[in-house]
Amino acid sequence: MTEYDYWKIFPKMPRKVTIGDITVRDGFQHEEKFISTDAKKFYLEELIFAGCRHIEVTNLGNPYLMPQFRDAEELLTYLRGDLFKKKCKKRGIDTNDISLTCITIREPAVDRAIELKKQGIGPDRILMMVSTEEEHHFANSGTTLPNYWKEAERSIKKCNDAGIKMCGTVSTIWGSPIGGATDMKDAVKFTRRWLDIGAHDVEHADHDGSASAAEVYRYFSMVLDAMPDPRLHIAHFHETKRMASASILACLQAGIINFEATLGGLGGQPANFLDDCPIKGTGDYYYEDPRYVGLVCLEDTLVQIDEMGIEHGWDVDRVLWLGKQIERTVGRRLRSEAVLNGRTLKEGHMHFARPGLAKLKKKLGEKPGQLLPQGWE
């Protein structure tokens, strides 16, 4: 007989997950207009009020390359300040439960994070990144993989001394937009390497939407076989083919419990144009049409997971409202379907009902709720 219980079919699938938000960093880095500091503060704050406890704040790299993040210290100062703490206390939120992450691709950015920590405004966690395909890694970091690994090891030791956690990202797991096909076994080895040199956790990234659900399930099964603690692993998917939600499902089936997303599916490669001026970014874009680039959408992911009955800790309706606001902030329609169509409501949408059903059933001698002719078994 067919088994109908989803959790018996996929016994590793979690009943509870953590979903971090990376809108203000990874989402806004792709925008070709400067998103105001006030807007960034608003979304950081509102996402936390909506239930986010793991949030990416900014990039601490050189603002010359990515001037979208020239307000990094102001954002961190605000989130460490008394006004924000007062707002959290009013809502019953313990700020000690909130983990603030900053991106620090190279060692000078790590040093900046440590200095900010000494000033009392630094992040709780920072992130460095390797790609298994070296051309992609070089485009992002400007150096070779062997040299970068040594830099990462030094940086982790510094972070441990400063009380900052390090997340190591592994990218191009399912393919590279530059070098093409990759071997997932390399990514498993790189994951082990991050943990061996002291990383607190590992972000597994599909940075160009190469992943398919079957390969995602296979990869994370390999990862959890080798390093079984699911708390160590975070799934990070970009969206180029409208397949990221399938990848999320495959992750759940494999036993992954940590995810990241952005409002509206914003994000992608750092912009190489801002306002009215070309900027460095990471060079030429890997795509021709920016409408088809971004991350997995927070609104849709939350609705998907919520309707599966998996606990997540977010206020879904508040997030759907935020999704509408962020479309006004960036000035265009974004990718969320849930923002337009809402959630599947158990009570239905009775305002669409045609009048007269109850009256007709009474006239025909049918009982309320009767669905078959009387006398039928």
Say which residues have a Cβ less than 8 Å from residue 208's Cβ, sequence separation at least 6: 172, 175, 176, 177, 238, 240, 286
To which H or E segment does residue 362 belong? helix 357-363
102 falls within a domain:
yes
Residue 285, pLDDT score: 87
Which has more pLDDT, 260 or 2? 260
| pLDDT the model gives residue 23 | 98
41 has pLDDT over 90 = yes
- Report yes or no on 62 lying in a domain: yes
Alpha-carbon distance 166 to 316, whole Å? 29
Task: Please write the tens of the pLDDT for every residue from 149-200.
Answer: 999 999 999 999 999 999 999 999 999 989 999 999 999 999 999 999 999 9
Q: Which two tokens stand for residue 370?
A: 């009767």
User: In the structure, what pLDDT confidence band is assigned to residue 210 with cuts at 50, 70 and 90?
Assistant: confident
Question: How high is the pLDDT of residue 148?
Answer: 98
Percentage of the chain lying above the pLDDT 70 cut: 100
Give domain status of residue 364, yes or no: no
Query: What's the whole-model pTM score?
Result: 0.94
Q: What pLDDT was estimated at residue 348?
A: 82
Band of residue 71 on the pLDDT scale cut at 50, 70, 90: very high
276 pLDDT tier (thresholds 50, 70, 90)? very high
Q: Provide the domain count of the chain.
A: 1
**1 lies in some domain:** no
- 180/166 Cα distance (integer angstroms): 28
Residue 365, domain member (yes or no): no
Lowest mean pLDDT among 126-130, 163-167, 234-238, 338-342: 338-342
Let me know if residue 369 belongs to a domain. Answer: no
Average pLDDT, the chain: 95
- Rounded CA separation 334/291 (Å): 9
pLDDT at residue 349, as a whole number: 84
DSSP letters, 188-241, are HHHHHHHHHTT-SEEEEEETTS---HHHHHHHHHHHHHHS--GGGEEEEEB-SS
* Mean predicted confidence (pLDDT) in 56-70: 95
Residue 10 included in any domain: yes
Pairing, β 233-237 against β 201-206: parallel
With a pLDDT cut of 90, the percent of the chain lying above it is 87
Q: Considering the domain boundaries, does residue 363 fall inside one?
A: no
pLDDT at 222: 98
Q: What is the CATH number of the domain that holds 208?
A: 3.20.20.70
pLDDT in tens, 103-162: 999 999 999 999 999 999 999 999 999 999 999 999 999 999 999 999 999 999 999 999
308-330 per-position pLDDT tens digit: 999 999 999 999 999 999 999 99
- For residue 64, what are the domain limits? 6-358
| b/e 137-160 (16+ beta carbons within 10 angstroms → b) | bebbbeeeeeebbebbeebbeebe
The stretch 267-271 carries a mean pLDDT of 91
pLDDT digits (tens, 9 = 90+) for 288-308: 777 778 999 999 999 999 999
**Which run of H or E residues covers position 99?**
strand 99-103
